[in-house]
Structure 1
Amino acid sequence: MTRLRMGMIGGGPGAFIGPVHRFAAELDREIELVAGVFSSDPGRSKAAAGAYRIDPARAYGSLAEMFTTERARADGIDFVAVVTPNHNHLPSARAALQAGLPVICDKPLTATLDEAHALAAVVRESGLPFAVTHTYSGYPLVREARARVAAGAVGTVRKVVVEYPQGWLAGEASGKQAEWRVDPARSGLGGCIGDIGVHAFQLAEFITGLEVTELLADLGAVVPGRALDDDCTVLLRFANGARGVLLASQIEVGELNGLRIRLYGDRGGLLWRQEQPNTLTLHTLDGRTEIVHAGGPQLGPDALSRTRTPTGHPEGYLEAFANLYRDFAAVLRGEQAPLLPGIGTGLRGMAFIATAVEASRAKAGWVKLSV
């Protein structure tokens, strides 16, 4: 099988997520990073070539240069990964799509909801594959949870509690990764709500198979002088009438990356935690508890097809990320990948961010969530 050739936009020196994309994309040897515009500074873009071990001649100074040069090559790039701060998602993805290249893009989709609608229009007009890297939906046991909920394991969903606590922004935001996340010019409308709250939102909708229809939001900038929210509490109502609570915070000292979800139905409940991703806990109304392990024979096809090692050999964040790239590669080869987050998921995420921010500022109470 010929490996697909990836071009990267962003991910230059000092970036966290660029190398993650590279590792994930190349894990299954279906994709190879061969080119990129790694920084808006041409010198830094060239410098990144050494870190990524690619031909320095294919580390470009601008998008136009990359698209023109790669188009002329027999071994030119097949698609683009956008891994920039949020304010560059729309211009980068739009330019790639208009150059005829499929795109896989970091979340949130864009900096604002208006930009998200503009990008969605470009995606529709292009007819090209487009995906959003909501990493946690790539975990095998998250996919198992989704399948079991759909099969009725918990019955009718009544309550959803999804939490994403971090503590790394409890003090001064220093360093490249922190600084852009608290800067409205680069992060966009939301701070914590856009960085991690949207992950929690997507996870809740993904596992339950239900859409959020209304929300009540209380977002705060707790650290003095901070312009964007760093602590979020959002009440949710789902399409079937279920109620939910979404908690996202980056000022909870001592917390690392504690994403977890609990949901309860009229027949049972379940729990999954990102920091212990290889177990899924299910409870039944008669008092029994089942612990499901990653890689076990009891898993359904969605989970088994995205598990690489036997039970007891832990898989984690990079493997989950790689599952999204495996799905995207399948789509590029003309196959189906129905669980891959696409432009619709990205739009819903941006609508959630915008609605929560605006409702909190206005103290508007319960508001409709509409895309």
Structure 2
Amino acid sequence: MSRERKLRYAMVGGGQGAFIGAVHRKAMALDGQFELVAGAFSSSPERARESGATLGLADDRNHGSWQELLADELRRGPGERVDLVSIVTPNHVHHPVALAFVQAGFHVVCDKPLVHTAAQADELVAAVRQAGTVFGVTYNYTGYPMVREARHLVCSGALGTLRKIAVQYNQGWLASAVEQGGDNKQADWRLDPQRSGNAGSMADIGSHAENLAATVTGLRPDALCADLSVFGTGRRLDDDAQLLLRYAGGARGIIVASQVAAGLENDLCLQVSGTLGSLIWRQEEPNQLIHAPLDGPRRILTRGSPWLSESARRAGRIPAGHPEAFIEAFANVYLGVAADIRARAERRIADPLDADYPNVEDGARGVRFIEKVVESAASEKKWTSVD
């Protein structure tokens, strides 16, 4: 594969009116690595083709369903076929689409949460291993430069032995009954168990919180105690979640994931404390990382600074003082996927700092975690083991 050639991709979902599809496309365009050449952008064939036409796709690659897309790509030769399929549908479509494209030998990036059940996750992991394909999951917050700096500081021992991991992710968009009337497309499917799965806020933003904690600290909880609540009248899925976590070695954790925190926007905050100090990062101020050591003054580390770790520096695009944020974080996940695809095409192992992205194993772990949270919330036991 020529390094100059853009990677051809197809998108499933993300058509007209879909927030996240546009974010993915903008992120993939940012570094000139990808080119959108095909798609099936909606479950409605008519809307799918209208969306594809608006995005400038050729008629013969603008499909009414993902099945048509897959069949057409398999008919094409290697020089024309897509390199990657990006899946940005509601959750219930992830598993069949991802599995079909992986089994057909295509590289895949899928939005989170990966699938509905641990059994589906295990099936997908096994398929990826058998196919030997690249599979990314867009836990986009791992793409922020200062999150990667936080990970570096924890791994370097700057915090000593970890004691406390706290992630709070608070939104207010479900504080009122926005799902009534059917005008809010996001609320319509995210609060539907058939399409969203067996968890609401826990799957939507709690999955991000779990992944952020795991990515930065490298720790996985042994046990959890969960409380899921439904504040919105008539809702069938949780809109608020609170978790206590226990880690091997003695560390403790807290995750709060609420979408009924009235007045809040996208307030994600990570705090990690150890025997030698603490780190604090807020998504709404993403270019700063606070490092508070035990035996020295608190310091504010900023994106783009020359003294940051190599992983944090590589994740930035412009000089310090020029803010980077949400779309750039998505773009960093896709850059990692692109690096891995190109390395495999050249039969080499990618530089891990280049191929830095959440993979199918991370996505599967998140699904298992969500299942354990739901199990814990329904149980009278104080602690539920996390296998």
Pairwise same-fold verdict (TM > 0.5): yes
Partner of 2:375: 358
* Shift in Å, 1:287: 4.4
After TM superposition, the structure 1 = structure 2 runs for residues 175-324 of structure 1, keeping only pairs within 5 Å, are: 175-324=184-333
Partner of 1:170: 175
* Shift in Å, 1:149: 0.8
| Alignment size in residue pairs | 370
Does residue 349 of the first structure (1) align with residue 366 of the second (2)? yes
Q: C-alpha distance in 2, partners of 1:271/1:56? A: 49
Equivalent position to 2:90, from 82, 85, 92: 85
3-state DSSP of counterpart to 1:173: coil
* Shift in Å, 1:329: 0.2
In structure 1, stretches of 5+ residues that fail to align are: none
Paired residues of 2:222 and 2:385 also in contact (CA < 8 A): yes
Q: C-alpha distance in 1, partners of 2:40/2:380? A: 42
Alignment-mate amino acid for residue 52 of structure 1: L
Paired residues of 1:210 and 1:240 also in contact (CA < 8 A): no
Does residue 12 of the first structure (1) align with residue 12 of the second (2)? no
After TM superposition, the structure 1 = structure 2 runs for residues 25-40 of structure 1, keeping only pairs within 5 Å, are: 25-40=28-43
Alignment-mate amino acid for residue 172 of structure 1: A
Paired residues of 1:173 and 1:182 also in contact (CA < 8 A): no
Task: Give me the TM-score of the superposition, normalised by structure 2.
Answer: 0.93
Task: Give me the TM-score of the superposition, normalised by structure 1.
Answer: 0.97
* Shift in Å, 1:263: 1.0
Paired residues of 2:227 and 2:377 also in contact (CA < 8 A): yes
Does residue 134 of the first structure (1) align with residue 139 of the second (2)? yes
Paired residues of 2:165 and 2:254 also in contact (CA < 8 A): yes
* Shift in Å, 1:239: 2.5
1:131-150 C-alpha deviation (Å, 9 max, x unpaired)? 11100000010000000111
Partner of 2:163: 158
Q: Which moved more, 1:355-364 or 1:262-271?
A: 355-364
Partner of 1:67: 70
Q: C-alpha distance in 2, partners of 1:40/1:250? A: 27
* Shift in Å, 1:85: 0.6
* Shift in Å, 1:321: 0.3
Alignment-mate amino acid for residue 108 of structure 2: V
Paired residues of 2:6 and 2:33 also in contact (CA < 8 A): yes
* Shift in Å, 1:61: 1.5
In structure 2, stretches of 5+ residues that fail to align are: 344-349
Q: C-alpha distance in 2, partners of 1:52/1:363? A: 51
Paired residues of 1:25 and 1:325 also in contact (CA < 8 A): yes
Q: C-alpha distance in 2, partners of 1:121/1:364? A: 32
* Shift in Å, 1:364: 2.4
Paired residues of 2:53 and 2:62 also in contact (CA < 8 A): no
* Shift in Å, 1:187: 0.1
3-state DSSP of counterpart to 1:364: coil
Equivalent position to 1:147, from 148, 152, 158: 152
Partner of 2:347: none
- Indicate the percent of aligned positions where both proteins have the same amino acid: 46
Q: C-alpha distance in 2, partners of 1:52/1:235? A: 45
1:13-39 C-alpha deviation (Å, 9 max, x unpaired)? 211111111111111001111111111
* Shift in Å, 1:208: 0.8
